[in-house]
Amino acid sequence: MSEEQNQQLQNKLHKDLIEAAKTAKSIGYNPTKFNQMIATEGGYKIAKKLIHSPTTSTGFEKLWELNRLDLSTEAVLLREEFRPLFTKEELEIAKTRLGEFGYEIEDISSALPPLKPSGREREFKGYEDHLKAKVIFEYLVNGLTHRELDERVLGLDMSKSKGLQSMNILHFLGMKADYKGIFKGEVLKEVISIFTEEGKDFDQSVRLLKLLDDDDLKNTINSDLEAEQVEEGHRLEGNIKYYYGKRYERDSDNRRLAIKKHGLNCYACGFNFEQVYGERGKDFIEVHHIKPLSTFKKAVEINPEKDLVPLCANCHRMVHRKKDKVLSIEELKEILLKQKE
């Protein structure tokens, strides 16, 4: 559901709540305070507030006495058309509250088609997580065909692959044809939110899609890189001067993917900057090339999972302290263990 559609649905809910209040007045209950609240904050916000209130409202009890709980906010928001506006938990609260007063609501089922996992994991395991995440997103939101996904996302010749690689990735997760374009026009965060609410069956998809939801981490990394460039004299009087090696080692996408894969704890000593420095250290860690950049004769493609590991500043410096003897992570770990003996 797009933002525009969401707003239209909120407007419809607002109008329906006002109509319910008018009907209530016509049968003997005038919800004056409720009308004032709606006029001030809007029907959607008031519905949210009432749902999260620990007790039933006076109006709810009055409508129960009049045998018209169908006019309650809980009953209105549980109408099929308004359910997308609320979380599964909120809908369950409304259903339970009505049920306790003898007003039954049909089962609240998922609006998404059931997943039908294929169990075939060869193709799924054959691609890096960030590529699988892009396949999922482009299929759900932009409605690309399997052949288009193979070509545009996986970089394959779709006339030869025939879309089988992307199809098998999606089918492993249980996403068949009824998921194609199901979230057309939606933003990534909304897709993740919906899948999260649906429960553990979507955990794998949520984990992958979160790899694309990295705005905060990207901003943090770019800020870190800029600070390092200034510190090392790579930015003088506003003119950016890049050194090939540094730029390559600190490519922000490679660093982001390495952090997403390996986490923010130092691979050698376990140090975590946020645990020690609080907010100042959030999302910070240095990233180390397992194979020294100085050994590269030409540009090569970096695999963030296999070629990069997170190291704290101390361990990173110790690894590189002697230019003719760069330590492996295992060698550094052995040094640390000996010092603890």
Q: Is 250 helix (H, G, I), strand (E, B) or coil?
A: coil
Roughly how many angstroms between the first and final C-alpha of the chain, as a whole number?
60
Planar angle of CA 97, 100, 106, nearest 5 degrees: 70
pLDDT of residue 246: 37
Query: Measuring CA to CA, how many Å separate 178 from each of 84, 116, 117, 143?
Result: 18, 11, 13, 11
The span from the CA of 327 to the CA of 319, in Å, is: 5
The span from the CA of 253 to the CA of 256, in Å, is: 5
According to DSSP, the β-strands at 235-236 and 286-289 are: unpaired
b vs e for 123-141, b when ≥16 Cβ sit within 10 Å of the residue's Cβ?
bbeebeebbbbbbbbbbbb
pLDDT of residue 335: 92
The span from the CA of 308 to the CA of 253, in Å, is: 12
CA 306 to chain centre: 24
The span from the CA of 175 to the CA of 168, in Å, is: 10
CA 331 to chain centre: 37
| Average pLDDT of adjacent 10-residue blocks, the chain of 341 residues | 78 94 93 91 91 86 92 90 83 88 72 82 86 92 92 87 92 92 84 85 92 68 60 40 38 78 90 90 87 59 81 89 81 89 68
pLDDT of residue 296: 53
The span from the CA of 60 to the CA of 66, in Å, is: 10
pLDDT of residue 39: 92
Contact 73, 91 (CB under 8 A): no
Contact 235, 247 (CB under 8 A): no
The span from the CA of 313 to the CA of 227, in Å, is: 14
Look up the pTM and report it.
0.43
